[in-house]
């Protein structure tokens, strides 16, 4: 977690890996309240980013299966 790349630049795999590290770090009871809150906030943002990427992938798959070809979709 030392490399705090902007979340919107992370791939799903990168974001999920960092989210797992955040969860593991939060389970460490030696963290201060301030550090725990910062980790929690980063984890929430990572979780939302992962959900968005999954939703986008699902929309793309639906477009492929319903129409037989890939169509761009608006964000």
- Report which of 35, 6, 29, 36 is spatially closest to residue 18, judged by C-alpha positions: 6
| pTM of the shown model | 0.77
Displacement of CA 40 from its chain's centroid (Å): 13
pLDDT of residue 1: 44
Q: Is the pLDDT of residue 75 over 50?
A: yes
Residue 44: predicted pLDDT: 98
| pLDDT at position 63 | 81
**Token couple for 56:** 């986008």
> What is the CATH class of 7-66?
mainly alpha
| Closest CA relative to residue 14, chosen from 26, 5, 23 | 5
- Exposure string of 22-31, with b = 16+ CB inside 10 Å and e = fewer, is beebeeeeee
Residues 4-62 have pLDDT tens digits of: 789 999 999 999 999 999 999 999 889 999 999 999 999 999 999 999 999 999 988 88
């Amino acid at each position: 977690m030392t490399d705090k790349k902007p979340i919107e630049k992370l791939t799903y795999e990168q974001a999920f890996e960092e989210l797992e590290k955040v969860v593991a770090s939060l389970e460490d009871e030696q963290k201060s309240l301030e550090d725990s809150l910062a980790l929690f906030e980063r984890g929430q943002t990572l979780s939302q980013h992962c959900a968005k990427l999954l939703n986008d992938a699902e929309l793309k798959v639906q477009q492929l299966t319903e129409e037989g070809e890939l169509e761009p979709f608006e964000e």
